[in-house]
Amino acid sequence: MQKMAIPALNAAGPASPTTHPLEPRPDLPARRVAAARTKASWTWAGRSLWAWPFPLAVLALWQLSAIWGWVPEQVLPPPAAVFKVFGELLASGELWGHLRISMVRVFAGFGIGLSLGLLLGGAMGLSPTFRDYVFPLFKAFSQVPVIGWLPVLILVVGIDEALKFLLIAKAALVPVAINTCQGIQNVPNRLVEVARVYGFTRWQMLRKVVFPAATAPIWNGVRYGLTHAWLALVVVELLASSEGIGFLIVYGRQLFQLDVVLAAVLAVGIVGFVIDKLLAVSEAWLLRWRKPGL
């Protein structure tokens, strides 16, 4: 069908601010993009400011409890003592050593869970028959927490590194597989129909339509999977480890050094926050082709 052009109502020259509203505005998309970016920047700045009052209030309450003796220092050390121990652990290299061991474990286990989750979620999303057979068993598997598999895996693989890798992989696999499956299933039908009209092969359909449309939910699954893997790592090291950041927490508790425990917990929170922010930046780069506001 031939597209009907809108006749120019201002024959004297290019469009001016007084142009009839039905006449095309070439600069309008750029204006909208700029406005959307400005609005997003202000929204991000506002959310960042609103995120500070609550943690600062908690820190102030913590300091007041130490000054006025609401809680004994043996139970809740003052913030200055915790930050001092945190700096000492960093300076001595002890904290870096435990973090390095923990990071190797979490990325090894996460790599296994990510690979299996993408394969399993992709298969369930692309094949309804496969999903009908596998999804009920997978759902039951996902309902069992990581700790629930600990006794069984100890009997099978012992308490060495393989145990930690498998438990971390299980924690990462579930959100990656679920988000991958849902992302592929929720690809708009109109995109698939247009691709069929153009005669796309199955591989072209996957590469140019399905996977780009499902990138955002898949990446959300990756973010959740890495977060769950980091949390599972700490839990596993609390129960079965002689080194790592989780072991440092247990070691401080056994010696009743609560400042060491809180310093290790602070390190866990900082590392988890940094990982999540790096994944958010990576997501923005992967989805940079999307228009702002969509």
pLDDT digits (tens, 9 = 90+) for 230-267: 988 888 888 777 788 888 888 888 888 888 999 999 99
Q: Provide the pLDDT confidence category of residue 35 given band limits of 50, 70 and 90.
A: low
Q: pLDDT tens-digit profile of 53-109?
A: 877 888 888 888 877 878 777 778 888 888 899 999 989 888 899 999 999 999 999
3-state DSSP of 118-187: HHHHHHHHHCHHHHHHHHHHHHHHHHCCHHHHHHHHHHHHCCCHHHHHHHHHHHHHHHHHHHHHHHHHCC
Task: Put residue 145 in one of left, alpha, beta given phi > 0 → left and psi -120 to 50 → alpha.
Answer: beta
Residue 6: its pLDDT value, please? 38
Instruction: Give the pLDDT score at 173.
Output: 94
pLDDT of residue 42: 52
Q: What is the mean pLDDT of the chain?
A: 80
Query: DSSP 3-state assignment of 24?
Result: coil
pLDDT at 282: 84
C-beta separation of 89 from 147 below 8 A: no
- Residue 109's Cβ-side half-sphere holds a number of Cα atoms within 13 Å equal to 32
pLDDT band per the 50, 70, 90 thresholds, residue 114: very high
Name the pLDDT band for 177 (thresholds 50, 70, 90): very high
Q: Which residues of 172-183 are buried (b: 16+ CB within 10 A; e: fewer)?
A: bbbbbbbbbbbb
- Give the tens place of pLDDT for each residue, 123-145: 999 898 999 999 999 988 888 88
Which pLDDT belongs to residue 124?
A: 93
Percentage of the chain modeled with pLDDT above 70: 81
Contacts of 244 (CB under 8 A, 6+ apart): 98, 101, 102, 105, 233, 237
Residue of 218 and 45 predicted with greater confidence? 218
Mean pLDDT within 204-223? 87
Q: Which of 268, 263, 259, 257 is nearest to 233 (CA)?
A: 268
Residue 105 is encoded by which pair of tokens? Answer: 């474990």
- C-alpha radius of gyration, the chain, whole number: 27
Q: Is the pLDDT of residue 21 over 50?
A: no
Place of tokens 């120019």: 8
Kindly compute the dihedral angle of the four CA atoms of residues 77, 82, 85, 89, in this order, to the nearest 10 degrees: 130
The reported pTM is 0.73
State how far the alpha carbon of 111 is from the alpha carbons of 104, 115, 156, 222, 266, in Å: 11, 6, 21, 10, 25
Instruction: Return d(Cα 181, Cα 117) in angstroms, integer.
Output: 9
Please report the domains of the chain, with CATH numbers, ordered by start residue.
Answer: 77-286 (1.10.3720.10)
- Average pLDDT over every residue of 3-31: 45
Q: pLDDT band for position 118 (50/70/90)?
A: very high
How large is the average pLDDT for residues 220-224? 91
For residue 26, pLDDT over 60 is answered with no
Place of tokens 């898949």: 218
